[in-house]
């Protein structure tokens, strides 16, 4: 097999690719609080609000909600790098199939995570799956709440506003 073919095959097998460094820097500036939320490291900064989505019939409703969300806005994965885990790396999904699999209840296992965790750059928020049948949004601006509500209501989900 030729070297170019091996590289093409390896790229096709990858599920995520890192964003360009300019976009990485822009997203790091926009989400400086992401590690505190992802690792539950104390109180959020005062300018960051929270919102949770909860359901009675967890899996089906959350799966439908996540499908609407993924279809309605760009979704990026993120990870923390370096020894101190102080550098956030943002990555895009290489296929919509991997993205849909990841952003479903228990889909985090697709990338060997406990739960999924993504950012929605057009909405300016982070979206986390939680172990307790709720999914959480964290955002700087409450302007995206109406869009989230439009996806949640037809799925039978409730918005629990953290303020």
Domain that includes residue 75, residue range: 16-161
pLDDT of 98 over the 70 cut: yes
User: What does pTM read for this prediction?
Assistant: 0.69
Tell me the Ramachandran region of residue 82: left when phi exceeds 0, alpha when psi lies from -120 to 50, beta otherwise.
left
- 101 or 43: which leads in pLDDT: 101
pLDDT tens string 32-87: 988 888 887 777 778 888 887 767 567 788 889 999 999 999 999 998 988 878 89
In 3D space, the residue among 141, 146, 113 whose CA is nearest the CA of residue 31 turns out to be 141
In a domain? residue 10: no
Going by the DSSP 8-state scheme, the letter that residue 13 receives in this structure is H
pLDDT category at 6 given cuts 50, 70, 90 is low
Total number of domains in the chain: 1
Q: 76-81 and 16-18 as β-strands: parallel, antiparallel, unpaired?
A: unpaired
How far apart are the C-alpha atoms of 69 and 156, rounded to whole Å?
A: 14
Supply the DSSP string of 93-159, one letter for each residue: ES-HHHHHHHTSTTGGGGGT-SS-EEEETTTTEEEEE-TTSEEEEEES-GGGHHHHHHHHGGGT-EE
In a domain? residue 64: yes
What is residue 12's predicted lDDT score, i.e. its pLDDT?
58
Supply the DSSP string of 15-55, one letter for each residue: SEEEPPHHHHHHHHHH-TTHHHHHTT-SPPPTT-EEEEEE-
Alpha carbon 156 to chain centroid distance?
A: 21
């Amino acid at each position: 097999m030729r070297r170019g073919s091996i590289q093409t095959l390896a790229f096709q097998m990858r599920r995520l690719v890192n964003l360009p460094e300019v976009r990485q820097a822009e997203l790091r500036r926009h989400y400086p609080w992401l590690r505190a939320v992802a690792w539950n490291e104390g109180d959020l900064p005062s300018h960051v609000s929270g919102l949770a989505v909860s359901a009675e019939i967890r899996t089906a409703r959350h799966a439908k909600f996540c499908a609407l969300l993924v279809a309605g806005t760009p979704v990026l994965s993120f990870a923390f790098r370096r020894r101190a885990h102080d550098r956030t790396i943002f990555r895009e999904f290489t296929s919509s199939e991997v993205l849909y699999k990841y952003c479903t209840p228990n889909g985090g296992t697709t990338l060997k995570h406990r739960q999924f965790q993504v950012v929605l750059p057009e909405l300016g928020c982070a979206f986390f799956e939680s172990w307790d049948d709720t999914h959480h949004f964290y955002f700087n601006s409450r302007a995206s709440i109406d869009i989230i509500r439009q996806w949640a209501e037809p799925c039978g989900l409730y918005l629990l506003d953290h303020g």
